[in-house]
Structure 1
Amino acid sequence: MASISETSDDGSNGGDPNQKPEEPHKNPQEGKEEENQNEKPKEDDHQEEEVENVPQIPPQMPLELIVSTIATLRRCHYPTLSLLSDSFRQVISSVDLFQTRSLIGSTEPVLYTLITFTSPNFEEPRWFILQRRNNTSLQLSLVTSLPPMFPGCTTVTIGHKIYVMGGLRSLNRRAKTVFVIDCRFHTWRYLQEMQVARSYAASAVIDGMIYVVGGSTKRSDDWVEVFNVETNTWENVPSVLSPYGRSKAPFNVHFVLDNKIYILDGNNRVAYDLRGRRWEDWGPAGNQLGYFWQVLYCVVDNLLYAVVPDHLHVTPIVVYDPREMGWRPVMGVDYLPNLVYSESRMTNFGGKLMILGCYQSQARFDYYGEVNVWCVEVALERREDGEIWGKVQSLSLVNKFRKSPVFVLSRTVTV
């Protein structure tokens, strides 16, 4: 599935990825509020907040000076700054500002998570964004300008963009649809469709190319295809198929490590070498690698981190190094909050582990019967002796819903 977030809305094509817009959605209107959302914080909530340590602004300040000034500030201050003048609003919504931020190294990671609600009826997944308010507290907000995603879509991130591919248009009807989301402005547009309709496929990026694997009938000539983002074209990648795995398995569990896509296909564990364009069996280390990463996992600095199931009674977080081909504990983390980790999502957030989830049983509800969503922030440190240490930096209540959320996936972009 896919993810992205912020605030604005789409009036012409707001909820249907099947309807192709003639032009990219630049300034969509705000859509109706989700029934399942108790509070939908918006960036407008920041407008009354004061920006600390910002000097007085001359009334006729040159645009170049505004760009260089704003580019050094945190994005959480932008809503307030946009109230100063039309010039400030113009700069904040400009490409020049984000180019300057990239040049001076002031870009920030932003987390998007795709959420659906299954009770009483299934709902199409929508993007939410996790952002800081007042430069301190975290808030999970709906991105109203983005349409619902197809269930079973697959996503990758490149810089400030999220690419969304395939999914289910309806029961047993796969999609070839591809579109890209610009997370700087929360606009989106369609790209060239895939050559094969896919759902629950695996995907990865290497050398600026997007690979999509599986999600369709297993054949040697088109089970893998690659997308060139520069030319907006797809190409099939013929390959000798792995004898392991099923023919139409959904790849709900997969990750990218050391330029390979590792896939859990039923009880089978296979890997696709992106550079070599060949399939591999995991070999003797495969069983050990697959021991922990089936529940909650993500990759940081080419190391695989996983939350250990409660019944194993070992350290809460473990790490897998492909060079050592073995798991070891993340030191310093003695406990984690009692979330339902099988229903949570963990993401690499600028080198930290960010976990979104809900508490177990009655603890997940507040006094009014609403479901609380929590974010756990874990900082990581690699020490000179090679050991990985972690520290739970915060546990934050980031939103409340009237229905139980299902966290489809989480992605981090840089803006």
Structure 2
Amino acid sequence: MKNSTAPPLFHVHEPSSPSFSSVPDEIAANCLARVSKSQYRSLSSISKGFYALLSSPEIYAARSQIGATEPRLYLCCESLRTDTRCNSWYNLMSLISNCDDDEIIEKGDAFISVDGAEIKRRTELRLVPVKDSSFHLRARSKEANLAVGPEIYQIGGINKKGKRSRSVCVLDCRSHTQRRAPSMRVARQDAKACLLDGSIYVMGGCGERECWGEVLDVKSQTWKKEILHIPSGDDDEFDCKFEVLVLGSRIYVITEGNKYVYDPKEGRWLLLDTRFEGLKSILELGTVWCVLDNLVFKECSDDLFWYDLSCGKWVIVEGLEDLCYTRVNCRYRMIQLVNYGGKLVIVWLVLPEPIFRRNKPPVIQEEKTCFVVIRLEKRMTSSGLVIWGEIERLSFSLVHGSYNPLTCLSVSL
């Protein structure tokens, strides 16, 4: 007689591991928001659900809420490939990877020796075109560009008819889409824009003093009724060369003739005293500057300086003796000095120069856009405040002679 086992009355299911897809979107977004954005491309390939969540507004809201946003560089370039020149945006999100040195080296980084000092260098960056569907997102010439969180405001410029424009477009760097914002009251080109307390101040570029500046409330997306009138100055013209910067709760306007400060709470302009006289040098051709931690920095003659208001003088940033060697034996054009999430990035274009060889045709080097990332540190000494800098990374992107870099901005993603 054969022994037989009776089949079970009920099928018993083995417990299975819970799937991440079964987690509510709100919790999933909160978890994924803590992952570096440099890993999002890999995570998006796991499933359609991951792709949808990682590209949704919820993930960016969660990153902002927990303070996990990361800076990303966007470069506006003029294309030289066609007869009709146009400006387009490019993404440089691979400039800095949140990984340790071993991982960085495996991804193609190397070390270069600059007069005895070792500087990390990524061998090459890629200019990734910012596209909406299959089209490059365009930028108008002579427009004002301003980064506001994860967005870039493109203000005014030259329209298709060759005239000043009132148009305002917003590039959302989270979804790489473009939308229209309310138009300005006045058409402007070569204007300056700054952000203060949730409002965008657009100044100049209209040729008329009586409508010199206007203000956009970012939250309500409405232009305020009042127009900013710059004070009359004997040495100033309606549309002279000028720069606008924000220090603390005030807006500073530096012109070739005078220096003004505007207090939005008081709604009035004041002339600045002689301590600000040295800021006029940011108007000089070839000088790049930016504001970081309420201090004004500028790059000039291969050195980095900060402006000391206590004495009204430019002071060199210590510890950057090797900065000049990053551009040794080459012609270059400065592009921008960028506040990169609390660090400074210096951007310049290396211009091609022929290398002559005996009995051989000259070799033309390729153009490349170079980026130096600098970490800054404040130190109090017996003689006062001293600022030290350290070069963290030297990176470059080959331009191949078809792009002319114009503007570089840092957004928070």
Q: 1 or 2 for the larger relative contact order (CA 8 Å, sep ≥6)?
A: 1
SS in 2 for 1:195: coil
* CA contact 2:288–2:299 (8 Å) conserved in 1: yes
Q: TM-score, normalised by structure 1?
A: 0.75
C-alpha distance 102-218 of structure 1, shift in aligned 2 (>3 A): same
Aligned positions of 1:129-278 closer than 5 A: 129-132=91-94, 135=98, 136=104, 137=122, 138-145=125-132, 147-170=137-160, 173-220=163-210, 222-234=211-223, 235-239=225-229, 241-243=231-233, 244-249=235-240, 251=242, 253-265=243-255, 267-275=256-264, 276-278=266-268
State the alpha-carbon separation in 1 of the partners of residues 67 and 59 from structure 2. 12
Which residue is 1:12 aligned to? none
Task: Give the conservation status (yes or no) of the 8 Å contact 2:194–2:244.
Answer: no
2:317 is equivalent to residue 330 of structure 1: yes
Correspondence 1:66 to 2:38:
no
- The 3-state SS of whatever aligns with 2:138 is coil
Deviation larger for 193-202 or 114-123: 114-123
How far off is 1:84 after superposition?
0.8
| Deviation at residue 407 of structure 1 after TM alignment | 3.0
Q: CA deviation at 1:263?
A: 4.2
TM-aligned CA deviation for residue 97 of structure 1 = 1.1
Q: 1:375 aligns with which of 361, 371, 374?
A: 371
Are the equivalent residues in 2 in contact too, given 1:177–1:193 (CA < 8 A)? yes
Q: Residue type of the partner of 1:397?
A: F
Separation of aligned partners in 1, 2:58 and 2:172: 15
Deviation string 1:187-219 (CA, Å, 9 cap, x unpaired) is 121111101000111111212111111111223
Deviations 1:342-385 (A, max 9, x none): 43211000111112222355289x97753122211111111243
What does residue 285 of structure 1 align with? Answer: 275
More strand by share: 2
Residue 42 of structure 2: aligned partner: 80
Asked if structure 1 preserves the Cα contact closer than 8 Å seen for 2:251 and 2:262, the reply is: yes
What TM-score, normalized by structure 2, do the two folds share?
0.76
CA 1:324–1:119: 2 relative to 1, 3 Å: farther
Match of 1:95 in 2: 57
Cα separation, 2, equivalents of 1:168 and 1:279: 29
Instruction: Specify the alignment match of 1:395 in structure 2.
Output: 394
**Matched residue count:** 350
**Counterpart for residue 4 of structure 1:** none
Amino acid across the alignment from 2:376: L
Task: Note the aligned Cα RMSD (angstroms).
Answer: 2.9
Q: In the TM superposition, what whole-angstrom CA distance separates every residue of 1:267-299 from its partner, at most 9, and x where no partner exists? A: 334334142444444442343222356311111
Residues 1:300 and 2:292 are matched in the alignment: yes
Amino acid aligned to 1:91? L
- Could you tell me whether the CA contact under 8 Å between 2:332 and 2:351 is conserved in 1? no
The answer on whether the counterparts of 1:340 and 1:357 sit within 8 Å (CA) in structure 2 is no
Q: What is the aligned counterpart of 2:342 among 351, 356, 366?
A: 351
**Residue deviations 1:76-127 (CA, integer Å, cap 9, x gap):** 1111111111221121111221121122221101111212146885622211
* Distance in 1, Cα, partners of 2:71 & 2:18: 28
Q: Report percent identity of matched pairs.
A: 27
Q: Distance in 2 between matches of 1:289 and 1:60?
A: 56
Deviations 1:239-263 (A, max 9, x none): 3523142123355x44333444444
1:14 corresponds to which residue? none
- Is there any run of 5+ residues in structure 1 with no aligned partner, and where? 1-55, 311-315
Matched position secondary structure for 1:285: helix
Segments of 5+ residues of structure 2 without an aligned counterpart are 1-16, 99-103, 105-121, 356-361
The yes-or-no answer on 1:123 pairing with 2:85 is: yes
Match for 1:62: what amino acid? V
Distance 1:250 1:288, change over 3 A: closer
- Counterpart residue type for residue 338 of structure 2: T
Q: Closer, same or farther in 2 for the Cα pair 1:186/1:274, shift >3 Å?
A: farther
Cα distance in 2 between the residues matched to 1:335 and 1:304? 21
Does the 8 A contact of 2:203 with 2:212 survive in 1? yes
Deviation at 1:335, TM superposition (A): 3.0
Flag the 1:274–1:180 CA change in 2: closer, same or farther, 3 A.
farther
Task: Choose 1 or 2 for highest CA Rg.
Answer: 2
The 2-side partners of 1:184 and 1:246 are apart by 40
